[in-house]
Amino acid sequence: MNKSQTQTHPSSPLKQTIAVASIAAGIQFGWALQLSLLTPYVQLLGIPHKWASLIWLCGPISGMLVQPFVGYYSDRCVSRFGRRRPFIAAGAVLVAIAVVLIGYAADIGVILGDRVDSTPKSRAITVFAIGFWILDVANNMLQGPCRALLADLSGKSGKKTRTANSFFSFFMAVGNVLGFAAGAFTHLHDAFPFTMTKACDVYCANLKSCFFFSIFLLITLTVLALCYVEEKQWSPETEVKDGEENEITEEVTAPSRVVKVPLVGELFGAVKDMERPMVMLLVVTCLNWIAWFPFLLFDTDWMGREVYGGDSGGNDGDRRVYNIGVRAGALGLMLNSVVLGFTSLGLEWLARRVGGVKRLWGIVNFILAFCLGMTVVITKLAESSRRGSAVLETVSPPVGVKIGALSLFALLGVPLAITYSIPFALASIISSSSGAGQGLSLGVLNLAIVVPQMVVSVGAGPFDEMFGGGNIPGFVLGAVAAAVSGVLALTVLPSPPPEADILKVTAVGGH
């Protein structure tokens, strides 16, 4: 057994981990802006509903196709700048290009021949769709290598891997809070008066202005992280070099010999030959996201439609009530993000208190099931309060109903923090134990996320209509999936090995 096989990779300083994880704040800032500001902009462009569904499908489709490819090539990149950093840098640049296309879609459409006073604006919609697809591709180029780099920085330590993913989840929450706060400030465009044009109203101008801040935050965090955290150029013959501070001195998961296997062949091979721990992780993750997606896609719509009793397609009064409910839902998302951030920081403490990350994941899945089930109770109470009212649009839900709905949003921040961190940490630990590449393993895990998202995106509407419409049928299905996921997490999901066992497995495995 040679030195390269027996010596373990020293864990990098915590500051480097935080620097890389902070990129998540820049990524999530832009997404929160879209959730809070994109609906009025879409209405301005006049995007038909059938087109909108195709645009929103680009997220899971690009995630399914792009992230495994990026993970595969980032495991084998021999650039002198490192293996993960080139993909992170390229992803950040593409995000900047994408949000400019989205923000200026209306203006570009007018230049190309759209009329300001008519909808739909077909050319602007085309530019918007291109920008939106580029944005999803770019985000997948960013998030996968970021998480893989965090796993590289954590070395062989399962605890440090979980901590790194907890910081990533925390900074996602920070980005959410900043994004929702910026989106709520309706006069931000005053700082950039040139953003208002004949093709771009106040909502559009505010979106542009927020995107300027989004680009600045993401590029700044990315540049700082990539300059501070150095990666040593990887090659199949890389030797262990200890004692080099602020560098990743050894690739802990890449194979020491290159086998010429096509990308698709290796991806299918990784799925076909994966060991039982990874299979169980994918099953639990898949069920977990089947539970999450109906609520994540329609949470504010639920507030506007079921809780407040409005209708986005009704008369002026119905639309006004609906919009008030949607804004209340945005406040709920802000509370959710705050709880998510604090929970992410306390994840290790919570895991110790309940007896390990496996048990913690199972418990929070039952919390998720409970919360999704409570949407039925809150909806029925809201409907009951509206019965007998002669003027619907002047009635808001009782204070107790509103507090209950907002409390539900806040409580869901706990299981969401676990969902954003533990599955990725377990995938990194399992891949380290088996000798698989971090990038490809995280790409395979991503399949268990995007496939449920595609199923929910396509099937949620028809499924809800089978039971009379509304959002409640999807939420109830999510509650059932969450409960099953919780049972499987507690019973069939293997516990991560102790630190000593991780070191033993990876030390003698030979990469």
Quote the tokens at residue 429: 């630990």
251 within some domain: no
pLDDT, position 266: 55
pLDDT at 348: 83
Do residue 302 and residue 222 come from a single domain?
Answer: no
2 in a structural domain: no
Contact 415, 368 (CB under 8 A): yes
Give the pLDDT confidence score for residue 207 in this predicted structure: 80
What residues form DSSP beta bridges with 230? 247
Q: What CATH number is associated with residue 426?
A: 1.20.1250
Same domain, residue pair 226 and 298: no
Identity of the residue numbered 359 = R
pLDDT of 262: 47
10-residue mean pLDDT profile of the chain (511 residues): values are 38 81 89 69 66 64 75 78 88 91 88 82 86 84 84 77 84 87 74 82 80 91 90 59 40 42 53 72 91 84 87 74 81 89 87 88 95 95 76 68 94 92 81 58 75 75 68 90 94 67 32 30
231 token code pair? 């990666």
Q: Are residues 225 and 293 in the same domain?
A: no
- Domain final position from 199, 233, 267: 233
334 assigned to some structural domain: yes
| Spatial distance between the Cα atoms of 150 and 361, rounded to a whole number of angstroms | 21
Chain CA centroid to CA 159, Å: 22
Domain range spanning residue 384?
A: 276-510
Q: Which of 202, 233, 264 is the last residue of a domain?
A: 233
The total of other beta-carbon atoms located within 10 Å of residue 196's CB is 17
Q: For residue 243, is it within any domain? A: no
Q: For residues 286 and 192, state if they share a domain.
A: no
Q: How far, in Å, CA of 216 to CA of 99, rounded?
A: 12
Does pTM surpass 0.85? no
pLDDT, position 254:
41
Question: Does residue 110 form part of some domain?
Answer: yes
Residue 448 shares a structural domain with residue 389? yes
What whole-number distance in Å separates Cα of residue 494 and Cα of residue 490? 9
Same domain, residue pair 198 and 294: no
Same domain, 206 and 343: no
Task: Clarify whether residues 186 and 293 are in a common domain.
Answer: no
pLDDT at 465: 67
Q: How many residues does the chain have?
A: 511
Residue among 104, 98, 100, 108 at smallest CA distance from 130: 98
First to last CA, the chain: 12
The last residue of one of the domains, among 233, 268, 285, is: 233
Give me the residues paired with residue 248 across strands: 231
Residue 245 is assigned to a structural domain of this protein: no
> Does residue 336 fall inside a structural domain?
yes
Same domain, 214 and 317: no
* 223 plus 360 within the same structural domain: no
Looking at the structure, tell me whether residues 282 and 226 fall in a common domain: no
The CATH code of the domain that includes 215 is 1.20.1250.20
Would 240 be classed as within a structural domain?
no
- Same domain for 294 and 178, yes or no, is no
The tally of domains found in the chain comes to 2
One-letter amino acid of 97: I
